[in-house]
């Protein structure tokens, strides 16, 4: 637990690091309203996520929520200014978000520090954000972190191939999320998926580890076009991150499933060996802007500020 003075010092430090690292690259700091309309989230989020919203009612009877994330309100704000992407927009922020959880050890208010790049999908743009995530962690004094690289399109493609009901899709998603190979294998068997397809799917979904070995494996396999394109994209992003000097921090997880189901392209998560939960999460979300009647593809990440300073202040665990 940290006191109010530490908390303020940490916020100052992370702001300094973000400003110094990003302002020279065209990123500008943004401040967002704490109160949001409930309707904004009602249409966007799953039931599970809606339960985590902190709601209040104003004097007219309208329901408001304390912002549960930064990505959505920022997208709404940007969408009211720009309908289309005539120019790229770069933002960074350090803001609190509010989510309630059944797990009482998780605080309702957490601070996030992140960036968003409103730009068309390209390996360069995706790699820019991932490289900047590595830069931010390094500048904050973290060194033993790993960024896992995945892609939301893999699960979408899997659902398309398997033609499952909504319940079955949730079941499959939870097997993949838990990397539960044996139960997914028997699920596919029960659904009369051809052996060859089954093996290929399992091989894809459970590919994890050092990037080049994962990519090499897929060159030998006859993947369908969709999956090939996705894997080529991840590879292109990976190569660019390597070129920016952070290759040793990147690992590939083709079976990555994110709770935030608005991701549409590349997605990533950062971990340190010192704490058990993710330090940062991010990805591309090209369809979110449609909810605000705009066409604004975007990619970004958010760090958990408390997690980062826990890593910084915790003695490294005994070398095992």
Partner 1 sequence: MKIAVAKGRIAEKAREFLTGGGIVFPDTLLDERKLVITSKDEDYQLLFVKASDVPTYVEKGAADIGIVGKDTIMEDGRDVYELQDLEFGNCQLVVAGFPNSFPADTKSLTVATKYPSIAKAYFDKAGIRTEISRLSGSIELAPIVGLSEVIVDIVETGSTLRDNGLVILREIAKVSTRVIVNKASYATKTTEVKRCMELLEKGVEGRRANTHNT
What residue ranges bind partner 1 (CB under 8 A)? 144-146, 148, 178-183, 208-209, 251, 253, 269, 271-273, 275-278, 320
Q: Which of 117/260 has CB closer to partner 1? A: 260
Q: Work out how close the CB of 252 gets to partner 1 at its nearest, in angstroms, rounded to a whole number.
A: 11
Q: Which of 9/183 has CB closer to partner 1? A: 183
- 3-state SS, 300-318, equals EEEEEHHHHHHHHHCCCCC
Residue 150 · residue 254 · CB < 8 Å = yes
- Can you tell me the distance from the alpha carbon of 249 to that of 235, in angstroms, rounded to the nearest whole number? 15
Q: Work out how close the CB of 93 gets to partner 1 at its nearest, in angstroms, rounded to a whole number.
A: 25
Neighbours of 101 (CB within 10 A): 11
Q: Work out how close the CB of 273 gets to partner 1 at its nearest, in angstroms, rounded to a whole number.
A: 4
With CA atoms as reference, report the closest residue to 14 among 318, 319, 312: 312
Q: Work out how close the CB of 279 gets to partner 1 at its nearest, in angstroms, rounded to a whole number.
A: 8
Report H helices in 206-313.
Answer: 211-220, 225-243, 305-313
- Can you tell me the distance from the alpha carbon of 135 to that of 125, in angstroms, rounded to the nearest whole number? 15
Pairing label, strands 250-253, 208-209: antiparallel
Q: Work out how close the CB of 238 gets to partner 1 at its nearest, in angstroms, rounded to a whole number.
A: 15
Q: Which of 8/178 has CB closer to partner 1? A: 178
Q: Which of 33/141 has CB closer to partner 1? A: 141
Q: Which of 23/46 has CB closer to partner 1? A: 46
Q: Work out how close the CB of 271 gets to partner 1 at its nearest, in angstroms, rounded to a whole number.
A: 4
- Can you tell me the distance from the alpha carbon of 140 to that of 143, in angstroms, rounded to the nearest whole number? 9
Q: Which of 69/148 has CB closer to partner 1? A: 148
Q: Which of 64/133 has CB closer to partner 1? A: 133
Q: Which of 87/320 has CB closer to partner 1? A: 320
CA 199 to chain centre: 28
Residue 282 · residue 302 · CB < 8 Å = yes
Report the greatest alpha carbon distance in the chain: 63
- Can you tell me the distance from the alpha carbon of 239 to that of 293, in angstroms, rounded to the nearest whole number? 34
- 3-state SS, 184-223, equals HHHHHHHCCCCHHHHHHHHHHHCCEECHHHHHHHHHHCCC
- Can you tell me the distance from the alpha carbon of 111 to that of 140, in angstroms, rounded to the nearest whole number? 16
Q: Which residue has the tokens 């920016």?
A: 244
Q: Work out how close the CB of 276 gets to partner 1 at its nearest, in angstroms, rounded to a whole number.
A: 2
Q: Work out how close the CB of 286 gets to partner 1 at its nearest, in angstroms, rounded to a whole number.
A: 26
């Amino acid at each position: 637990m940290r006191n109010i003075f530490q908390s303020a010092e940490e916020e100052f430090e992370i702001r300094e690091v973000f400003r110094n690292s990003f302002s020279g690259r065209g990123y500008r700091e943004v401040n967002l309203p704490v109160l949001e309309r409930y309707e904004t989230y009602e249409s966007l989020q799953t039931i599970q996520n809606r339960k985590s919203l902190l709601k209040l009612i104003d004097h007219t009877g309208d329901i408001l929520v304390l912002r549960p994330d930064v990505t959505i309100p920022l997208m709404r704000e940007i969408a009211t200014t720009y309908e289309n992407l005539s120019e790229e927009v770069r933002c960074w922020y350090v803001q609190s978000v509010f989510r309630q959880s059944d797990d009482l050890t998780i605080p309702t208010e957490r601070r996030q520090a992140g960036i968003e790049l409103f730009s068309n999908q390209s390996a360069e743009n995706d790699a820019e954000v991932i490289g900047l995530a590595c830069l931010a962690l390094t500048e904050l004094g973290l060194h033993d972190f790993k960024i896992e690289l995945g892609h939301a399109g893999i699960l979408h493609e899997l659902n398309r191939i398997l033609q499952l009901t909504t319940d079955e899709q949730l079941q499959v998603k939870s097997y993949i999320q838990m990397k539960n190979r044996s139960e997914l294998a028997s699920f596919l068997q029960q659904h009369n998926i051809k052996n060859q397809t089954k093996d290929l799917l399992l091989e894809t979904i459970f590919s994890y580890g050092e990037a080049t070995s994962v990519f090499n494996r897929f060159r030998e396999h006859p993947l369908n076009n969709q999956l090939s394109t996705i894997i080529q994209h991840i590879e292109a992003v990976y190569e660019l991150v390597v070129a920016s000097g952070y290759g040793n921090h990147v690992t590939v997880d083709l079976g990555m499933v994110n709770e935030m189901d608005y991701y549409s392209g590349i997605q990533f998560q950062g971990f340190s060996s010192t704490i058990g939960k993710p330090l940062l999460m991010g990805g591309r979300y090209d369809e979110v802007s449609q909810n605000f009647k705009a066409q604004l593809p975007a990619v970004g990440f958010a760090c958990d500020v408390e997690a980062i300073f826990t890593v910084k202040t915790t003695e490294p665990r005994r070398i095992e």
